[in-house]
Structure 1
Amino acid sequence: MKIAFVGKGGSGKTTLSAMFARYLAAKGASGESPATVIAIDADINQHLGVALGMSEADAAAVPALGAHLAAAKEFLRGDNPRIASAANMVKTTPAGRGSRLLRPRGDDPFHTDWSIDAAANLRLLASGPFAEDDLGVACYHSKTGAVELYLNHLVDAEDEYVVVDMTAGADCFASGLFTRFDLTFLVAEPTVRGVSVWRQYRDYADGYDVALAVVGNKVTGPEDVEFLREHVGDDLLACFGTSGWVRAAEQGRPAGLDAMEPAHLDVLRVLRNAVDARGKNWTRFQDQAVEFHLRNARAWANKATGVDLASQVDPDFAHGFLEALAITPV
């Protein structure tokens, strides 16, 4: 399952992304055995590694996917006859017959060369920060484009999770990235600004069959829960309160999950159950990839590449079916 955490800056989405990724890596779908987890830092601030318990130095050593975009395109293109050159691939290019597809922790450069182990059963990828050459001339979409291509070509199966810490606000709506997830958790503080981000995200996603659930954070009592429920209604899934476990981690004293407050472990269990209850719809996943690819082609990408990128769409490609794709699960 592919999961996104979104929210306004400072809402705690990075912290919750890290907690949830660690919980899944330890507990898995059954709550008894570990799962395969890929965590992706797609936030401009790049703090997920430290939130996962890594040192600043180790987190900074995670290769930046954005710096390997050309190589990533060349790898993913594979033998797809509809893509004559990796230079003609853009962030929305969908997979097709002949494309190289990915498996979580598979034998490919994304999982062997361009990522790092953050914990047992947990591999960390990062879009990467701005480089000096980017300043003043590039937007962050040049980094998150590598994440979108990765997700477009990833085949995840049961008890495999991809947890993405997204950039703050509604920036992901600049492409089809917001449709790449089986479930999106919007982290909202019990404030007017907190719920306004939920409203904006909900309105932008309306009509695209995006599964959205609100996770309240920094909730101090029943009044905060009531405030959130009044404003977001049934979208409110669960709430986190203040946590000594989180505070200790933020002060450089991370502890194991067993030391977390039982009430907050229960919340993580609620989130996992909500994810596991989602059904896979690979046809919709591919159709949405194609839709936004064609939109980007018409808006800017055809002109930028000098190619009619609609020709990259393979109408006979069926995404996600392991037997048809001849992918051996790891």
Structure 2
Amino acid sequence: MRVAFVGKGGSGKTTLSALFARYTASRGGPVTAIDADINQHLGMALGMADSALPRPMGAHLTEIKEYLRGDNPRISSASAMVKTTPPGRGSRLLCLEEPDDVIHARFAVATPDGPRLMVTGPFSDDDLGVACYHSKVGAVELYLNHLLDGAGEYVVVDMTAGADSFASGLFTRFDLTLLVAEPTRQGVSVYRQYRDYAADYDVPIAVVGNKVHGPGDVEFLREQVGKDLLVCLEHSAAIRAMEQGRPFTLEDLEPANVRALDKILKHLDAQEKDWERFGRQAVQFHLRNAEAWANRATGQDLAAQVDPDFVFGPTRVSLLR
């Protein structure tokens, strides 16, 4: 199951991504946390030193593409593969349970509390003024397009702030999107944007209230977002200590906040895994990107990369390599 944490800058989505990844890992099963935010802080929130962070996926796109395309005859080269290129017969697919593939081996590391961590990486000096951050986040889109994840397996993605996620088809790659909102007008403004953009794509969303100080804050959020309000996390001294770099374990977390994390996990587990929608939208966004820019960029008709006989999900057809 795949879950994205989104919200305005400062809402606490990175902290909640880390807490949820830790909590879910503590319940068993593989968990991979991915930092896809332009501000790369998820590793820190998971207790990682900078020196222990994994190789940045965004700096090794050619290597990732070369591996994922495998023997797919529809993809002529890594340079002809773009962020939306869907898998087909011959492509290499990824799994979370005991992964032995090159992508996880080279770009994922274990964190102290169990989740594996992958990162897109920050801007480099060479990127400034000439590159868009979505070129790096494209590595995450390719990863998710080629991932076979099942029940009890989790990918937790800390997305870039605001509605910027809609600049690519990445927002459709999740079983659930959690919008982290503080109990303020600014906090719920991103929710309205996300709700309206997502409505046409059947993207399941829910709101997680954060930094809540009392019943008045909860009531405000309920008035603003209605039935989309899933749960609220209380203002937490334990979380503040974690953010300040002090020693932290889940046992330090207030019982009400532990219950909130459990409710989020149960809600995620209750989502239907809709491989048909996933595949249909992967193809849809690939064709849109091909027509808008990718055909010109590669000098090829990338519509030909779509394999009409490939079935998304853990099926006999999709597992042919």
Query: TM-score normalised by the shorter chain: which range applies?
Result: over 0.9
Q: Is the 8 A contact 1:103 1:156 kept in 2?
A: yes
Give secondary structure in 1 for the equivalent of 2:121: coil
Q: What residue in structure 2 maps to residue 150 of structure 1?
A: 143
After superposition, residues 1-330 of structure 1 pair within 5 angstroms as 1-27=1-27, 34-58=28-52, 61-104=53-96, 105-326=98-319
Amino acid in the other structure paired with 1:44: I
Which string of whole-angstrom CA distances, capped at 9 and with x for unpartnered residues, describes residues 247-275 of structure 1?
11112213221221110000000000000
Q: Is the 8 A contact 1:43 1:167 kept in 2?
A: yes
Give secondary structure in 2 for the equivalent of 1:134: coil
Single out whichever of 244-253 and 70-79 deviates more from structure 2: 244-253
The aligned length equals 319
Q: List runs of 5+ in structure 1 lacking aligned partners.
A: 28-33
Q: Is the 8 A contact 1:94 1:290 kept in 2?
A: yes
Amino acid in the other structure paired with 2:12: G
Amino acid in the other structure paired with 1:47: H
Which string of whole-angstrom CA distances, capped at 9 and with x for unpartnered residues, describes residues 24-53 of structure 1?
0001xxxxxx12000000000100001011
Which string of whole-angstrom CA distances, capped at 9 and with x for unpartnered residues, describes residues 285-327 of structure 1?
0100000000000100001101000000011111112544448
In 1, Cα distance between the equivalents of 2:226 and 2:123?
A: 38
- Scaled by the length of structure 1, the TM-score of the pair is 0.94
Q: List runs of 5+ in structure 2 lacking aligned partners.
A: none
- Scaled by the length of structure 2, the TM-score of the pair is 0.97
Q: What residue in structure 2 maps to residue 30 of structure 1?
A: none
Quote the offset at 1:114 in angstroms: 1.3
Give secondary structure in 1 for the equivalent of 2:94: coil
Q: What residue in structure 2 maps to residue 31 of structure 1?
A: none
Q: Is the 8 A contact 1:5 1:166 kept in 2?
A: yes
Which string of whole-angstrom CA distances, capped at 9 and with x for unpartnered residues, describes residues 186-240 of structure 1?
0001111111100011111121000000000011111111111111000000001
Q: Is the 8 A contact 2:46 2:113 kept in 1?
A: no
In 2, Cα distance between the equivalents of 1:181 and 1:145?
A: 15
Q: Is the 8 A contact 1:35 1:121 kept in 2?
A: no
Quote the offset at 1:56 in angstroms: 3.5
In 1, Cα distance between the equivalents of 2:165 and 2:245?
A: 31
Which string of whole-angstrom CA distances, capped at 9 and with x for unpartnered residues, describes residues 60-118 of structure 1?
x3210011100100000001111111111000001111100001151122211112111
Quote the offset at 1:120 in angstroms: 4.8
Q: Is the 8 A contact 1:52 1:118 kept in 2?
A: yes
Q: Is the 8 A contact 2:7 2:181 kept in 1?
A: yes
